[in-house]
Amino acid sequence: MHAATPPSPRRTFTFRWVGLRSLAVALVFLLLIGGDALFIEPNWIQATHYTIQEPIFTPLKIAQISDVHTDGIGFRERRVLERVSAEKPDIILITGDTVLPERGTYKAAHAFYQGLHAPLGVWFVRGNWENTITIHHERAFYSSAGVHLLLNASAHPRPDIWLIGMDDGPSGRADFNTPMKGVPAGAFVIALFHSPEFFHEVSGRANLALAGHTHGGQIHIPFVHPFWLPTGCDGMLAGWYQEKGTRLYVTRGVGMSFMPIRFLCRPEVDFITLTPDGTVTHLQTAPSGTSSSRAGASATAVSTFAPLSR
């Protein structure tokens, strides 16, 4: 029998060097991913822009903000305020969860609200965390910050635009039917709510719906289902959805909850510009005694849908 030939020192050294180099590359890769998820993406605000043709008289530029989860005016909040100010939207619509989970304070939210301004106002609907962390004299709080609270209520900030704002469905008592009673038939309706699952209640009865809540999943790994999704999503994670002729946009939102990380899922402020499609030829007078913000205003008499462009 021949004795086994021991591996040469050079070959052993090569194998060890390759192994150590592979381990070092893997560690560097993980550090880069961790740095991106912890420090870069959470503060890398993306402004998304969409243009939709709708039955309205003049263009309307909407800024939608959601899920800020603020603990004070930091870098991320300043970036949002700066971007919204630079975009000069006609109206700002906030779809809930401005307060921070668990330890959030309304003082921090108040400071953020005071930095928002638009000709047609700033409008807000509750998220699940506003229902979890409550505040006394809620309407007075929002009014002092220059924000209009819509709690199962309607308003028309412009004669051809109606807003219907609901309480959060899973955590509160959402009601779409009551505020719709004061809206004229054929009016252009924008429905605001926090959790996307409520879309099924408004589809076919509103022209446009806006929601948040999901954070877009926060962590995206290609070909892998999101690790974390809150209740109330019903499969609607982010982006555009359509049902019964009604469009819904689910924003990825600004902040985070539970896990302070984002990966391949940048925080977002979306700007949706509605442009006239040429179908509206006249206005009809709104009935008196509605819950709108402008008594005696008007609403559109025609409602159609047009293709979406990005």
Q: How far is Cα 76 from Cα 254, in angstroms, rounded to an integer?
A: 8
Q: Which residues contact 90 (CB under 8 A, 6 or more apart)?
A: 59, 60, 61, 62, 118, 119, 120
Q: Which residues contact 118 (CB under 8 A, 6 or more apart)?
A: 63, 89, 90, 91, 92
For the chain, which residues score pLDDT lower than 50?
A: 29, 32, 35, 282-310
Q: How far are the Cα atoms of 41, 126, 148, 186, 289 from residue 192, in angstroms, in the given order?
A: 27, 10, 13, 18, 22
| Element counts in the chain: helices (H) and strands (E) | 7, 15
Residue 257 near residue 228 (C-beta atoms within 8 A): no
Q: Could you tell me the residue ranges of all domains in the chain?
A: 10-43, 46-309
pLDDT of the residue at 7: 60
For 109, the enclosing helix (H) or strand (E) is helix 106-113
Which DSSP state fits 260? -
pLDDT of the residue at 18: 58
For 19, the enclosing helix (H) or strand (E) is helix 9-35
Q: How far is Cα 94 from Cα 192, in angstroms, rounded to an integer?
A: 8
Q: How far is Cα 10 from Cα 12, in angstroms, rounded to an integer?
A: 5
**What is the reported pTM?**
0.81
pLDDT of the residue at 284: 40
Residue 150 near residue 125 (C-beta atoms within 8 A): yes
Q: How far is Cα 54 from Cα 59, in angstroms, rounded to an integer?
A: 9
Q: Which residues contact 189 (CB under 8 A, 6 or more apart)?
A: 162, 163, 164, 180, 183, 205, 206, 207, 208
**Chain-centre distance of CA 63, in angstroms?**
10
Query: Considering only the top CATH level, what class is 46-309?
Result: alpha beta
Residue type, 189: V
Paired strand residues for 161: 158
Q: How far is Cα 299 from Cα 284, in angstroms, rounded to an integer?
A: 6
Q: Which residues contact 152 (CB under 8 A, 6 or more apart)?
A: 165, 166, 167, 173, 174, 175, 176, 178, 179
For 276, the enclosing helix (H) or strand (E) is strand 268-276
What average pLDDT is seen over the chain? 83
